[in-house]
Amino acid sequence: MDEQPEPPRRASSVARGSNRGRLVEVLRRQGPLPRVELARSTGLSFAAISAITSRLIAEELLCEAETDAGAATSWPDDTDEEDADGPNGRRRGRPAVLLTLNPEFGRIIAVSLRMNLIETLIADFSGSGLAQSRLALTTRALDADALCDLMIAQIDAMLDATATPRHRLLGIGIALQGIVNADTGRHLWSPALSVTDIDLAKPMRQAFGVEVVMANDAVAVALALAAAEPALAQGLSATIMVGHGVGMGVVVDGEARWGAGAGSEIGHVKLA
């Protein structure tokens, strides 16, 4: 596997499953929250939340949102006399400072490649979509080079449409209708393409200098739903997609059950 140079970008250093990652996922799912609610939602201690959020603010991943005047902080250190209980048992403490993801920290590109359609979306760091394109064409007529050139051109168009400098691009995700080798991210077969066993991620890495991940589209949707709905990240859940064939993504405790290689692929079953 070729060694890739360090991409010239701002690395977020937010690893999925880490305490930092858990905090970011909660904010992306629930929106702006005070530190006390972040502690409750993540299960982390107040001290841990204070330390992590301070670092993330210094790194510009987080910023302060408008103060929620209707909520008062119950942070353990807020022991001033003005924080005593008021009428009706409501706390009269200082208004809670809401923390939110800094949308300008970076941008993410998502590409969906399926039969006769390529969709490209760019989102800010908070997960809000900024621009989207739909390109209808005969995908099976494309060879590997033409397909990669087309995807690169679509991504460039998204960056231009949103005035996003390349160093603000944090990563690219590709969802492919078909079989993807989970160990290498290599495309093995797709009903949407006539070419097989090609690496679609490497040209993207070379063109943009960022991390590129690729997955079966049903698995990608299953992971997205599990991230958006915490209940789906507990235990076993499955997502079935019906379109040009049938595909299924399986998630166990918030993680995709890939199997060995393409072992989890059970879709595209022909019916008489």
Over residues 8-41, the pLDDT tens digits come to: 344 445 554 589 998 998 998 889 999 999 999 9
CATH 3.30.420.40-classified regions of the chain? 105-223
Question: Which stretches of the chain score pLDDT less than 70?
Answer: 1-17, 66-94, 259-272
pLDDT score at 25: 87
Domain 105-223 fold is Nucleotidyltransferase; domain 5 (3.30.420)
How far apart CA 246 and CA 266 sit, in angstroms, is 8
- How far apart are alpha carbons 20 and 61 in whole angstroms? 10
List all residues 6 or more positions away from 227 whose beta carbon is below 8 Å from its beta carbon. 25, 28, 29, 233, 254
SS3 171: strand
**116 Rama class: left (phi>0) / alpha (psi -120 to 50) / beta:** left
How far CA 19 is from CA of 39, 87, 90, in Å, comes to 11, 37, 31
Residue ranges of the chain that CATH labels 1.10.10.10: 19-101
Q: What is the pLDDT of residue 14?
A: 56
d(CA 183, CA 166): 28
The reported pTM is 0.77
- Phi/psi-derived region of residue 143, left when phi > 0, alpha when psi is between -120 and 50, beta in every other case: beta
pLDDT of residue 182: 73
Residues 110, 173: contact at Cβ < 8 Å?
A: yes
Beta pairing partners, 134: 119
Q: Which fold has domain 19-101?
A: Arc Repressor Mutant, subunit A (1.10.10)
Distance between CA atoms of residues 248 and 221, nearest Å: 9
Distance CA 224, CA 214 (A): 14
